[in-house]
C-alpha cells in the first residue's frame, strides 16, 4: 500500500469512523472490535466473502445497539 500507513485494526478501532474490509479472510472484524467502536461507526465489506464481519454475533448479542442494513 504505497503511500498509506498500514496498521492493525486493534490499534485504531476506538478512533475510526469507517471500517471497510476487502481481504477475503474470515473474522476480520470481530465482536470484540465492534464492542470497542465509536458510536455510529460504519462497517462494510467490499469483498466477495460474507465472513469477514462477524454479523452473527451482532444479531445474537443481547442489548446490542447495532443496526444491520
Q: What is the DSSP string of 17-37?
A: SEEEE-S--S-SB-HHHHHHS
67 in Cβ contact with 39 (< 8 Å)? no
Domain-wise residue ranges, the chain: 9-55
The segments of the chain whose pLDDT lies below 70 read 1, 61-69
- Give the model's pLDDT for residue 8: 92
- Give the model's pLDDT for residue 68: 58
- Give the model's pLDDT for residue 61: 67
pTM of the model: 0.77
- Give the model's pLDDT for residue 43: 93
Q: What is the CA radius of gyration of the chain?
A: 12
Amino acid at each position: 500500500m504505497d503511500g498509506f500507513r498500514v496498521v492493525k485494526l486493534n490499534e485504531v478501532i476506538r478512533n475510526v469512523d469507517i471500517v471497510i474490509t476487502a481481504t477475503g479472510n474470515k473474522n476480520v472484524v470481530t465482536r470484540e472490535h465492534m464492542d470497542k467502536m465509536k458510536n455510529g461507526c460504519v462497517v462494510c465489506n467490499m469483498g466477495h466473502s460474507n465472513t469477514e464481519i462477524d454479523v452473527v454475533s451482532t444479531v445474537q448479542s443481547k442489548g446490542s445497539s447495532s443496526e444491520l442494513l
